[in-house]
Structure 1
Amino acid sequence: MTKIYNWGILGAAKFAREHMGPAIHLASGARLAGLATSSYDKSAPFRAFAPDIRVYESYDALIHDPKIDVVYIPLPNHLHVEWALKALKAGKHVLCEKPIALEAAEIDQIISLRDETGLMAAEAYMILHHPQWQRAKEIIDSGEIGRLRHVSGIFTFDNREDTGNIRNKAETGGGGIRDIGVYTYGSARFVTGQEPTELRADVEFEKGIDTYANVTGRFGDITFTLINSIRMANRQRMEFHGEKGVLALTAPFNAQVFGEPKLTVECSGGVIREERFPAAQHYKLQVENFCAAIGGDRSAYPVSLEFSQGTQAMIDRVFADAKR
């Protein structure tokens, strides 16, 4: 019989309400058992699909409840490390929204506590749970498009009117790079299997947050151009350009929301192949993979803290170059 793990959420965030809460509720091996919020009214949307959920008045009350097995953290970025450590010290497995930290060095203490306790701790980097990304890496590694020479990616949207959004606040670790740069940088690292050997960043700031970033450089002999902005029209796409063909993902990050996830392969001679993924639910798969990892198969969760630390190290380099 499959073990069911009780999940608790810290805070009634919009993202948790619309995406991760329902995913936990629907995932095999998981049960949405708790929500910590100072406003009981904010729990109403969660109780609508999980009527037996327990509502806690404080984060501490939830993480110290022995009935809770896993703590999911969708708090503002600057609170991630603090509450990840508190939850681990309370004996809970931890799944924390990206970015799990504001600087790569901060992740060391989470790794250390993970290893000390034997608990599962990871970043909720949902895209790598989507089969389109596993397939993309498989195609690149197979050599179908030949030697990979260039990676290009873009992820943009415009939220300038939403002034209260935490992405528009410097004090909460806002900005486009931490919010969506993590996707273009991390996915490029995942597919190439390499870290940037050269990096240059053209970044624009507004009231202490980055609103546009064009990052160029090399993964060894593979060049890259990655663009992110929270002041541009909606756009997302990743392309991997080889000597024999081009692999493109047309809805690489917000699958189903931005559009149907589709992978295309264009080879010399104009031959095009499309692979579609109409049914995959990456948030649900993420929860199920996390539960499998708790159960002993750590390889079931493809995003280790060490991988997340590598992406954060790249983010740190982008900010450092922008300041230089």
Structure 2
Amino acid sequence: MVETPIRFGILGCADIARKLSRAITISPNSTLYAIGSRSLDKAKKFAAENDFPPSAKIYDSYEAVLYDPDVDAVYVPLPTSLHVKWAVLAAEKKKHLLLEKPVALNVAEFDLIIEACEANGVQFMDGTMWMHHPRTVKIKEFLSDSEQFGQLTTVHSIFTNGGDEDFLKNDIRVKPELDGLGALGDIGWYCIRSILWVVDYELPKTVTALRGAILNEAGVILACGSSFEWEDGKTSTFHCSFLSNMTIDITAIGTKGTLHLHDFVIPQEEKTATFSAASKTGFMELAKGWVPLPSQYVVTTDIPQEACMVREFSRLVKSINEGNSKPETVWASISRKTQLVLDAVKESIEKGFQPVQVVA
């Protein structure tokens, strides 16, 4: 028996929507059903260039996608400043919601979105793709091994990706009226999420932005960092920047082991991902080298991580639509914690790098 795929509509023709269109096509339980743009010609061009099936609906507005009764779910890659309006309307029209990150400009907006999803019984998930890669599961196994990794002491995360002159002047991510969170929202979101993931989503007690944050003339963050502190003594730092060469690292250090990951957001190869883990390491006699050497692990996947994300989201949607389950709330909880910490970093920057308490 052939499984009926989840029918996706996409709001807008953002560049990231090209990646998700491909993921929806690759995922075995989803299909591209509709695309909506403020320009019909733009929507037609997008559909033609991204292998939409001939039967796909092409609309000249976002509303038309949401009012189509045959659309099961929508992917929303619009600028963050537009998320509340369109995400809430999508939920009200009973469309399950895959929403690009950062989810909102602040936690108050985030809560409006989740309240709409909960009130209308629709599934929510943000677009943090790396969490769905099978490598992520393997790494967590190492971090959870008390014999190999021990107790976590500190974690550090970096995501830098230098933009060219055109990007730094014209991209929506440097425009306060479109994506006012800048680098903090776009790539700092990944750093914050990675730290929370390592600590099993335990919120830090205190967030202190690091001095040296760089803002453009419009006040949008181009580079920043922060330190986090927990009541039990754990610490962490992150750095994100549109002004430095691409680096995408996580280092997690325990009492017995160390994890190194150099491409956590997007693996260097689509279907093969690696990480390094060291346990109970020390120096050889006369410090001639390390013993034992860190182990290199390779994890393969049959489909890319973004298709893994779509597959999992579609599985949840199908179960809800068939009456077998209610929406899975863990994704909203994880996203909200990420948003809370992001808000605290931004507040610390605005307060002259003073410590800010994180309140759930």
1:128 positional shift: 0.8
Aligned to 1:286: 309
Aligned to 1:176: 183
Aligned to 1:20: 20
Superposed CA deviations along residues 46-80 of structure 1, whole A, max 9, x for unmatched, are 32412322210100111101111111100011111
Give the secondary structure class of the aligned counterpart of 1:142. Answer: coil
Matched, 1:276 2:298: yes
Give the secondary structure class of the aligned counterpart of 1:217. Answer: strand
Distance in structure 2 (CA, Å) of the matches to 1:125 and 1:154: 16
Superposed CA deviations along residues 172-205 of structure 1, whole A, max 9, x for unmatched, are 1241000011101011101211111122102221
- Paired residues of 2:11 and 2:78 also in contact (CA < 8 A): yes
Aligned to 2:214: 204
- Paired residues of 1:21 and 1:46 also in contact (CA < 8 A): no
Alignment equivalent of 1:254, drawn from 266, 275, 285: 266
1:271 positional shift: 2.6
Aligned to 2:344: 317
Matched letter for residue 265 of structure 1: A
Distance in structure 1 (CA, Å) of the matches to 2:329 and 2:27: 17
Mapping 1:189-228, distance limit 5 Å? 189-193=196-200, 194-202=202-210, 203-207=213-217, 208-220=219-231, 221-228=233-240
More strand by share: 1
CA 1:299 to 1:250, structure 2 compared with 1: closer, same or farther past 3 Å?
Answer: farther
Distance in structure 2 (CA, Å) of the matches to 1:12 and 1:230: 23
Aligned to 2:252: 240
Identity fraction in percent: 28
* Larger-Rg structure: 2
**Taking structure 1 as the reference length, what is the TM-score of the superposition?**
0.93
1:113 positional shift: 2.0
Mapping 1:16-55, distance limit 5 Å? 16-17=17-18, 19-37=19-37, 38-48=39-49, 49-52=51-54, 53-55=56-58
Aligned to 2:358: none
Mapping 1:47-86, distance limit 5 Å? 47-48=48-49, 49-52=51-54, 53-86=56-89
Distance in structure 1 (CA, Å) of the matches to 2:59 and 2:183: 32
CA 1:33 to 1:122, structure 2 compared with 1: closer, same or farther past 3 Å?
Answer: same
Give the secondary structure class of the aligned counterpart of 2:294. Answer: strand
Distance in structure 1 (CA, Å) of the matches to 2:273 and 2:83: 29
Aligned to 2:286: none
Give the secondary structure class of the aligned counterpart of 1:195. Answer: coil
1:258 positional shift: 9.3
Matched letter for residue 22 of structure 2: P
1:310 positional shift: 0.5
Superposed CA deviations along residues 61-120 of structure 1, whole A, max 9, x for unmatched, are 111011111111000111112101011111211111001111012222222222222111
Deviates more, 1:160-169 or 1:185-194: 160-169
Matched, 1:107 2:119: no
Give the secondary structure class of the aligned counterpart of 2:349. Answer: helix
Query: What value does the CA root-mean-square deviation take over the aligned residues?
Result: 2.1
Distance in structure 2 (CA, Å) of the matches to 1:300 and 1:146: 35
Matched letter for residue 50 of structure 1: F
Matched, 1:145 2:181: no
Distance in structure 1 (CA, Å) of the matches to 2:173 and 2:116: 29
Distance in structure 2 (CA, Å) of the matches to 1:259 and 1:248: 19
**Taking structure 2 as the reference length, what is the TM-score of the superposition?**
0.84
Mapping 1:5-16, distance limit 5 Å? 5-16=6-17
CA 1:302 to 1:273, structure 2 compared with 1: closer, same or farther past 3 Å?
Answer: farther
Superposed CA deviations along residues 102-149 of structure 1, whole A, max 9, x for unmatched, are 101222222222222211122112111112222222211122211111
CA 1:250 to 1:303, structure 2 compared with 1: closer, same or farther past 3 Å?
Answer: farther
Distance in structure 2 (CA, Å) of the matches to 1:28 and 1:234: 32
CA 1:301 to 1:91, structure 2 compared with 1: closer, same or farther past 3 Å?
Answer: closer
Matched letter for residue 179 of structure 1: D
- Paired residues of 1:289 and 1:300 also in contact (CA < 8 A): no
- Paired residues of 1:251 and 1:260 also in contact (CA < 8 A): no
Give the secondary structure class of the aligned counterpart of 1:71. Answer: strand
- Paired residues of 1:251 and 1:258 also in contact (CA < 8 A): no
